[in-house]
Structure 1
Amino acid sequence: MSETLQPIIIVRKKRRASGGHHGGAWKVAYADFVTAMMAFFMVMWLVATMPQEQLGGVSEYFKNPSAVAGRSAVMTPGANGPGGAGNVPIKMFDHLRNPPGAGPDTKVGERSDAAERARDAADQERLEALQRALEKAVASSQALAPFKDQLLIDITPEGLRIQIVDTLNRPMFDLGSQNLKDYTTRILIELATYLNQVENRVAISGHTDNTPYSGASDISNWELSSQRANAARRALVAGGLEEAKLSRVVGLASSVPFDKTDEANPINRRISIVVLNNAAERSAARSDDALTPVADAPADEP
């Protein structure tokens, strides 16, 4: 018996193609990620280096960056009206194009403040240079060196201060008098040449110790200190100091002692000359303005 022929069955299995490189789509995604990270770090750098007022401009911009009217619940006021883009971001980087004081777009207050700071810095350098010149002169000048122990020079909030103080054996004035000793006159005349080297104005004050004035009954240390300050003024002018450079001449009696622990100390008897800085001049001007009386308005005629 012949064998029954069986049909041959061939099973074909389809192989699924592997993902491979996804057709390069991952590269696009990675590029987007790198771009986003770069933008993120640039924003972080700007935030870290940007002044506070400009950060406010950035904040306002992202609240409503639209250039047309929008429907924001909180409308940002700006040049384009409510809901439009604010004008703060537009000026955000003006400090790079127009530093304060350098261009018309800069606010008037910013220009004024920057100019004022620049003037004050130059003024400080000028006074410090004058201080060094005076200290050198006191150490080497034939007119000033003998009195170096009586000449005190320092920088104060008002400016450069030069104090000529009494010592027990070398007073500046005759006892109870406004008359300058000859050597005090020579000191002041020498100082005048240095005071003219700067454009700053000068304030002079006279000081006494707390010993009551023993002269005429109608004169006190207030009058005496004022007279001595004025005598110092006359000597400085005789030495060449321009009258226009004088700001004030006052007598303070014993109200501002040099030695607060011993108000009878001879060092409290002194003449103080201050080369005024710009800040002191502005303060004095504001005080003068505050004290200037306002004229009454004319009464209405009946």
Structure 2
Amino acid sequence: MATIIVKKVKKGGHAHHGGAWKIAYADFVTAMMAFFLLMWLISMTTQKQKIGLAEYFAPSAVSTTNSGAGGILYGTALDTSGKKASMPHASESGAAEQGDRPLATSPGRASDRDASPPDSRVEAHGSAMASLRQALQAMPDIADLSHNIMIVPTREGVDVSLVDENGRSMFRDGSVTPYERTRRVLEAIAPTLRQLPNRLTISGHTATARPGSPPAGEPWSLTAGRALAVREILAGAGVPDDHFASVAGRADTEPVFPDDPYIASNRRVTITLRDASPPVPPNLLR
């Protein structure tokens, strides 16, 4: 008879638990690296840069409505603006002036918000911004432009800025010709601008060309042309000539981010709804 031999193997210690802990540990290390990188960036950023970044990511441009409707330009949606074409006959400075009022400084610059508007103007600013948002909310096809359009109050009035970002420009590269979507936005806000009492200043801005890269166009002519293109679209949509105070090209002299003048966000056109000048006392007119 054959002998049957049974071998019993005793396992020593506990079995290995697999590599799941390694994945969890790698995720933890990645999160810690991201955290310390964020802390380092914060410590290296100036106060002006922090203000510019905060405004770019919209807290000041977010709709303040409490309707909860969730529609375009409500809740956390930004507002929008647009513009047109046609090369201007620019002056030596690159500006085509229609009046002697100075232009508002650009959005995102700390100087615009060093002083809050008086209480008597806050309500007017809020009303103007609400009217512009209402004009835009009926355009669901502009939802993808929410990061390109900013409507913010400043000490000079209300700025409606059309801002480029990487991957999405509002004008054709090196041209004063806007994309059709920007034209539709301008035509949408034109009736509101026509009804509001504010005079308008329009300023064009561009980013500085990176070293070794040719500029997309002569910056003074380009920014003046884009500003004039916006004015022509608004005028064609019914905004009277006497509503415009000035139109100017600022080239790359007023970047939103002075410490990084090359980024796309410095390319923009700003329409400023200027506050009315306070009345002059009669005794000063003598």
**Distance (Å, rounded) in 2 between the aligned partners of 1:281 and 1:177:** 41
Q: Determine what percentage of the aligned residue pairs are the same residue.
A: 29
**Distance (Å, rounded) in 2 between the aligned partners of 1:205 and 1:244:** 17
**CA positional deviation for 1:121:** 6.5
Residue 168 (structure 1) aligns with: 166
**CA positional deviation for 1:163:** 0.4
Matches within 5 A, 1:227-266: 227-266=225-264
What TM-score do you get using the length of structure 2 for normalisation?
A: 0.51
**Distance (Å, rounded) in 1 between the aligned partners of 2:279 and 2:221:** 26
Is the CA contact (8 Å cut-off) linking 1:158 and 1:279 kept in structure 2?
A: no
Provide closer, same or farther for how the CA distance between residues 135 and 255 of structure 1 changes in structure 2, counting only shifts above 3 A.
same
**Distance (Å, rounded) in 1 between the aligned partners of 2:272 and 2:206:** 17
Residue 126 (structure 1) aligns with: 124
Deviation sequence 1:14-41 (CA, Å, 0-9, x none) = xxxxxxxxxxxxxxxxxxxxxxxxxxxx
What TM-score do you get using the length of structure 1 for normalisation?
A: 0.48
Aligned pair count reads 161
Residue 203 (structure 1) aligns with: 201
Matches within 5 A, 1:97-116: none
**Distance (Å, rounded) in 1 between the aligned partners of 2:267 and 2:242:** 27
Residue 266 (structure 2) aligns with: 268
**Distance (Å, rounded) in 2 between the aligned partners of 1:242 and 1:164:** 21
**Distance (Å, rounded) in 1 between the aligned partners of 2:278 and 2:246:** 12
1:188 to 153, 164, 186: 186
Provide closer, same or farther for how the CA distance between residues 139 and 258 of structure 1 changes in structure 2, counting only shifts above 3 A.
farther
**CA positional deviation for 1:172:** 1.3
Letter in 2 for 1:163: S
**Distance (Å, rounded) in 2 between the aligned partners of 1:144 and 1:195:** 19
Provide closer, same or farther for how the CA distance between residues 154 and 215 of structure 1 changes in structure 2, counting only shifts above 3 A.
closer
Is the CA contact (8 Å cut-off) linking 1:205 and 1:271 kept in structure 2?
A: yes
**Distance (Å, rounded) in 2 between the aligned partners of 1:279 and 1:270:** 26
Unaligned runs of 5+ in 1: 1-119, 283-302
Provide closer, same or farther for how the CA distance between residues 160 and 244 of structure 1 changes in structure 2, counting only shifts above 3 A.
same
1:277 to 272, 275, 278: 275
**CA positional deviation for 1:144:** 3.9
Letter in 2 for 1:172: M
Specify which structure has the bigger relative contact order, considering alpha-carbon pairs within 8 angstroms and separated by 6 or more residues.
Answer: 2
**CA positional deviation for 1:207:** 0.3
Is the CA contact (8 Å cut-off) linking 1:161 and 1:272 kept in structure 2?
A: yes
Residue 175 (structure 2) aligns with: 177
Provide closer, same or farther for how the CA distance between residues 196 and 126 of structure 1 changes in structure 2, counting only shifts above 3 A.
farther
1:152 to 132, 150, 153: 150
Deviation sequence 1:158-215 (CA, Å, 0-9, x none) = 1010101012222111111111111111111112122123111100000000117947
Provide closer, same or farther for how the CA distance between residues 267 and 183 of structure 1 changes in structure 2, counting only shifts above 3 A.
same
**CA positional deviation for 1:124:** 4.5
Provide closer, same or farther for how the CA distance between residues 281 and 164 of structure 1 changes in structure 2, counting only shifts above 3 A.
farther
Provide closer, same or farther for how the CA distance between residues 186 and 140 of structure 1 changes in structure 2, counting only shifts above 3 A.
closer
Is the CA contact (8 Å cut-off) linking 1:177 and 1:224 kept in structure 2?
A: yes
Letter in 2 for 1:224: L
Is the CA contact (8 Å cut-off) linking 1:138 and 1:145 kept in structure 2?
A: no
**CA positional deviation for 1:135:** 3.5
**Distance (Å, rounded) in 2 between the aligned partners of 1:173 and 1:281:** 39
Q: Greater share of helix residues, 1 or 2?
A: 1
**Distance (Å, rounded) in 2 between the aligned partners of 1:183 and 1:262:** 28
| Structure whose CA Rg is larger | 1
Superposition RMSD on alpha carbons, in Å?
A: 2.7
Structure 1 moving runs of 4+ over 4 Å: 120-124, 136-140, 212-216
Letter in 1 for 2:149: L
Provide closer, same or farther for how the CA distance between residues 271 and 257 of structure 1 changes in structure 2, counting only shifts above 3 A.
same
Unaligned runs of 5+ in 2: 1-117, 281-286
Provide closer, same or farther for how the CA distance between residues 280 and 169 of structure 1 changes in structure 2, counting only shifts above 3 A.
farther
